[in-house]
Each structure stands twice: as C-alpha cells, then as structure tokens.
Chain A
Amino acid sequence: MKEHFLYAKGIHKRFGAVQALKGVDFEVACGEVVGLVGDNGAGKSTLMKILSGALLPDQGEIYIQGEKAHISSPQDARRYGIEMVYQDLALAENLDVPGNIFLGREVQYRLKGLGTRVLNRKYMERKTKELLSSLRIQIPSLRQRVRTMSGGQRQAVAIARTLLAQAKLVIMDEPTAALGVAEVEKVLDLIRRLKEHGVAVVFITHRLPHIFAVCDRIVVLRSGERVGERKTSETTMEEITQLIVGSKTDAVSGTVQDQ
C-alpha cells in the first residue's frame, strides 16, 4: 500500500445538538484523487474544514506523512502543504492574474535600507506564465482583471495558486458546481494535472459523473459516518448512490440532486 500523505483518525465534531461527525477515518495517499460524496449534511464540508484548519475537531487525530499534526488554523494547514480552494473561490476580482496568484506572498525586489517592499511584477508575471502553462491553462491576457474572466478561468487561477504554494494536498469544495459543460471538462483536466504533479486532491461534489471522471477512490459519508469506500474502477454510480442514500429503492439515477 502507498504511503498516506494524510491520515485522520476517529474525527468527532458536534455542533450543539447535532453530531456532525461521529468518529470518521479518512486518508489520502500522495498524488491520489479522492472523491468525497454524501448527501447534504453528511459531514463532507465539516470534515474538510477540519483538515484545512478552519474548524477544530472535538476528538480525533490527524497524521501527516506518519507524524501527528497539529492543525488549529488555515495557516497551520498551509504549513503542512494543505490548501483549500473555496466554493466561492475567494479571489480579489479587481486584481489581475499574477496579483491573485501571488496575493499574500508577493515577490519583492531586495532593496536594502529603502524601508519599503517593492513588487517584482516582471518576475511574478513570468512565474505565473510558467504555472499556467504547466497546468495547460490558457488565459489570453494576464493583465486581465479576474472580474472579467469566466468561472472556469477563475477556478484555474485559484488552482494555480495552490501549485505556487507547492501544496501536497488540495481540497476542492464543489469546484464544478457553477460551471458549464466545457468549463467543467477544463476543471476536471486541472485536477488530473495536479495529480500529474504529485499533488493529492480531495474533490467534493454532488455530481457523480465528475467524480467518476477523475477520482481514484470514492469515500461516502452518511449522517456523519463513513459508510463506504470504493475504488472507482471497481464500482458503479448506482452502487455509490445507494451508499449515499442508504437504500436501494431511492437509487433512481446516477446523480444525487441538491435538495
């Protein structure tokens, strides 16, 4: 078996009267693409928020590359190489592509004694071009403000950011939710690119065909428990749907609709 990049053991999380996670185990190998599925309220997002440092678990341990990890903030998670691409993308839409990719880690000229940090735009643009081309992303003009770009292009910018951070695990919450067919294909392609770069990906979505298109393995949550795990090559959408809803009779189509 491949070495786990991340292994979370017995994760519990309670919100008031609701037990959101009831002792869930979760693991991702290096360069593995894992689909995380489950109905609304199954605990997918809660689990991912815990892994990315946005929430603290009530109980449970997280190991990263075999060592116990202490993740209590998104900064901590980032130090371990875990990056989250948010559903709402969270880009500064008034900035251009390099501005967003390097936001918060701008490359500066070394000017000693000037007392100010000057942007090295040329370097950042060149590096942005490299990143985008290594992901085979085409964006006509880097100087374009993100506001003027399509949903898929924005997604690409958000993903390129994680590559710059040399992330080892990228968590994507519904990256294909708001996209058209052609754009979805591009984002799925980006996930394959990340895998090629040895980056592990956790991909949350309601759309099973997207999961089957890119994931190596599928983990199913239901009511805060892990109810199943399948290799994508050894399962069907029907079986996964049954796991998600917990009964055979409800499994009508391969896609679980948003309620």
Chain B
Amino acid sequence: MSTGREGLAFLKRLVVERTATGVLLVLLAIILVTGIVNPRFFSGYNLQTLSRQVVIFGLLSIGETFVIVTGGIDLSLGSLTALLNVLAAWFMTHGFGVAGAVLATLAIAACFGMWHGFFVTKLKVPAFIITLGTFAAAKGLAAVITRGWPISGLPAGFSNLWEGMVAKVIPIPVVLFLLVALLAHFVLGYTVWGQHLYAVGGNLEAARRFGIRINRVRMAAYVVSALSAGVVALLIAARLNQGNPTVGTFYEMYAIAGVVIGGASLFGGEGSVIGGILGASIISVLWNALVLLRVSSYWHEVTVGAIIVVAVTVDVLRRLRGQTVP
C-alpha cells in the first residue's frame, strides 16, 4: 500500500516537476520500448541517423531555450532555417567561399535576432507576433530567392560537415553539437548574463528596478536563438549539398516542444540547456521510432502536436499549483 503510494508520488514528481532526471527516464523508456519492438533501432546505421537528427532539433531547442527562459518565444526558427539554408548555398555558389558563406549566413542570422529583439524590447511587440511575421516572411523570401528551385552545386568537401566522422564512428555534427551544448550550458548556468536571463523571465519589473539592462539581455537571447537556426541551416546545406527553400517546416514547433518537454515554462524563468536537449531527443527518438514502426509520416505531426499540448498543460497546471503555495 505505502510503496504504491510512494510509487505514485514518484511518478507525479517525474511528470509534474519534470526534472532532468524524469525527462531522461522517459527518454530511456521510449528507447527501450522501440528497441524491443524493432531491434533495428540499435543498429549502428540507425543510431548515426538518429544522432544527426538529435543534432538538428537539439541545436534549435538550445537556441529556443534562451528565448523561452526570458518569457519570450521564437516562432521563426523553421522558416529562418529555410531562408538561411538558401542564403548559405547562394553565398557558396557566388564566390564567397565556404568560410565567407558561413560567416555571412551567421551574420544575417544575428541580424534577424536583433530585429526580433528590437521589436520585443523597444516597440513592446509581443514576441509571438514579431517572430510569427518572420515565420511567414522568411519562408516566402527563401522561395523568392530560389524561384522555388533548390540551389545546388555547393563546393566539394562542404558535405563533410554533415557526413564526416571523428574517430571513424562519431559524426562531425554530433561533435559540433556537443561543443555548442557545453558552451550553452555554461553560459546559461554559470555566467552573469545567464542569471539575468532567468531574472528577466522571472520578474521583468524587478530585474529593471535592480538595474539590469533588461533590453540588452533579452535582445541577446533572440540573437542566440536566430544563430541556432543559422548553424542548423549550414548543417542542412551540408546534408543536402544544396540550398532548399522547403526545408525546416515545423522545426520551430519541434524546438519549442523539446524545450517545454525538457521542463521549461512558457511563462518564462524556467528551463535548462540539458532539459531542452533531452526534450529534443525525445522528439527525435519518437520520430525515429514512428518511422521504424512504419507509422505514416502524417501521424508524426499529430504525435508532436499532442505532445506539445500535454507538455504545456502540465506546465500550466504546475504553475497554478505553484500559486496556491503560501
């Protein structure tokens, strides 16, 4: 009886409080079940495919975490990925060289972040609206630039960024991802700016009264978020060996879902890089599992939609419960 109750309390803690450990256990459970149903899940090839997928969603989730912690949201990441992917390919095929194209792509990404930050901080436009604007416009712009066709013929060797291996087993993008993740974790958890991101998300007015430069702090969060789309755009250019205006569809949803599953609150002030990565991993593994289990791809979006609803509802319930605490 008492162990049953303790078990229930344990489950409740996992689901309601969504600690990193809880999210990790859910992830392991999904992996285990998928692996039992279809042992091919654990094949080396599948694990490499899966790990690269985690890199894409994980990077976007990391970027999104910075914005969501401040109480904002960035709906533009998927469309921005498409636009920046096309631009990267355009730069590479128009004499910028690989390094020049990478720098130019990231610089444009940063400009988009500043654009969002400017509207949110100076003009007080809700983050939801201004990034929704980019969501629509960037996708269209990508198609305009390419007239709907992919830009191919990228420099030979650029695809190594995606295909290449470190020590023959670990894909280069995975190594890159781990470095970015480590840096982001350090910045968010151990620096003054990271602390200010949480403070701004927890109580903007208090942060302002305490002399924190709240606009600068939030502006930088949108820049980080947009930069994550820039990096993903470059990785996708390397994967497809082209710039394609149709990539990135729904990626912002996956990124946001990952962040929220990982324990962040859409009300701001809560969230972590590790949580975001674990959440993104859950999305990626589920996606992979649905493929392996031969579920129609249309169901993938339904699944992610359902997960977002559940995760956000849990977040709201937790918030309501938190308010009744004396």
Contact = CB atoms under 8 A, between A and B. Distances in A.
Interface of A: 74-75, 78, 86, 90-95, 99, 103-106, 108, 116-119, 121, 147-148, 150-151
Q: Is the interface of B mostly helix, strand, loop or mixed?
A: helix
Nearest to B187: A116
A94 B209 contact: no
B205 interface: yes
Interface in B173-199: 187, 190-195, 198-199
A75 B269 CA distance: 25
Nearest to A158: B206
Interface in B300-326: 322, 325-326
Contact of A74 (B187, B202, B209, B325): B209
Q: Is the interface of A mostly helix, strand, loop or mixed?
A: loop
23 contacts: A78-B211, A90-B206, A90-B209, A92-B199, A92-B206, A93-B202, A93-B203, A95-B202, A103-B199, A104-B211, A105-B210, A108-B192, A116-B187, A116-B193, A117-B192, A117-B193, A118-B191, A119-B191, A121-B190, A147-B322, A147-B325, A148-B325, A150-B326
Interface residues of B, number: 24
A92 B203 contact: yes
A193 B187 CA distance: 38
Nearest to B212: A104
**Of B190, B205, B206, most A-chain CB atoms within 10 Å:** B206
A94 B325 contact: no
A59 B212 CA distance: 30
Contacts of B207: 92, 103-104
Contacts of A147: 322, 325
Contacts of A78: 211
B206 A118 contact: no
B201 interface: yes
Contact of B202 (A75, A94, A119): A94
A103 B206 CA distance: 9
4 nearest A-B residue pairs (beta carbon): A94-B269, A104-B210, A94-B202, A92-B202
